[in-house]
Amino acid sequence: MSLPQQQLPADFGDKSFLIIDDFHGMRSILRDILRSCGVNPRNIATAANGGEAIALLEKNRFDGVLCDFNLGAGKNGQQVLEEAKFRSLIGPGCAWIMITAEKTTDVVMGAAEYQPDAYLIKPITEATLRLRLDKIWSKKEAFADIDRAVVEQDFLRAVKLCDQRLATDRSNAGELLRLKCQLLLSAGEHEQARSLCSAILAERDVPWAKLGLARAQFAAGELAEARALLEALVAENRTFLEAYDWLVAVLKAQDDLTKAEEVLEQAARLSPNSVTRQKILGEVALQLGKLDNAEKAFRKSVALGEHSVLKTADAYLGLAKTCSAKDNPNEALQVLGTLTKQFNDDEVKVKALATEGMVHHKAGDPIAARKVAQQLGEALNQSGVRTDSATTLEMAELMLVTGEKSQAVALLQDEVRNNPEDKTLLGRVQQVFDTASMGAEGSALVEASRKEALELMNQGVLLVRDGKFDEALAALRTACERLPSNVRVLLNFAHLALGIMQKTAVDPALVDEIRERLLTVRRLAPGEKRCAQLMSQLDTLTR
pLDDT per position as a tens digit, 33-42: 999 988 999 9
Q: Quick one: average pLDDT of 217-241?
A: 96
Confidence band of 227 (pLDDT split at 50, 70, 90): very high
Predicted pLDDT at 149 = 87
Predicted pLDDT at 356 = 97
As a whole number of angstroms, the distance between CA 352 and CA 448 comes to 31
Predicted pLDDT at 194 = 97
As a whole number of angstroms, the distance between CA 492 and CA 223 comes to 29
Q: Which residue would you say has higher pLDDT here, 271 or 489? A: 489
Confidence band of 253 (pLDDT split at 50, 70, 90): very high
Q: Are 68 and 21 in contact (CB under 8 A)?
A: yes
Q: By three-state DSSP, how is residue 433 classified?
A: helix
Predicted pLDDT at 110 = 56
Distances (CA, A) of 27 to 31, 45, 66, 500: 6, 10, 10, 58
Predicted pLDDT at 6 = 44
Q: Please, what is the average pLDDT of the chain?
A: 91
Q: Quick one: average pLDDT of 116-134?
A: 88
Predicted pLDDT at 103 = 63
| Percentage of residues of the chain with pLDDT beyond 70 | 96
Q: Quick one: average pLDDT of 51-74?
A: 92
As a whole number of angstroms, the distance between CA 513 and CA 519 comes to 10
Distances (CA, A) of 85 to 57, 92, 309, 336: 11, 10, 10, 29
Q: Are 295 and 319 in contact (CB under 8 A)?
A: yes
Tell me the CB-side half-sphere exposure of residue 395, using CA atoms within 13 A.
Answer: 32
Q: Quick one: average pLDDT of 57-82?
A: 91
Confidence band of 113 (pLDDT split at 50, 70, 90): low
Strand-pairing partners, residue 100, are 121
Question: Is the predicted pLDDT of residue 159 greater than 50, yes or no?
Answer: yes
Question: Is the predicted pLDDT of residue 410 greater than 50, yes or no?
Answer: yes
As a whole number of angstroms, the distance between CA 55 and CA 456 comes to 49
Confidence band of 464 (pLDDT split at 50, 70, 90): confident
Predicted pLDDT at 2 = 39
Q: Quick one: average pLDDT of 434-461?
A: 93
As a whole number of angstroms, the distance between CA 211 and CA 228 comes to 11
Which domains, from first to last, does the chain contain? 17-149 (3.40.50.2300), 153-238 (no CATH), 460-542 (1.25.40.10)
Q: Quick one: average pLDDT of 232-247?
A: 95
Predicted pLDDT at 13 = 81
Nearest alpha carbon to residue 487 among 517, 456, 513, 464: 517
Report CA Rg, the chain. 26
Predicted pLDDT at 8 = 45
Helices (H), 238-343: 241-253, 257-270, 275-288, 291-304, 313-325, 329-342
Question: Is the predicted pLDDT of residue 515 greater than 90, yes or no?
Answer: yes
> In whole angstroms, what separates CA 430 from the centre of its chain?
29
Pick the range with the lowest mean pLDDT from 6-20, 150-164, 178-192, 374-388. 6-20
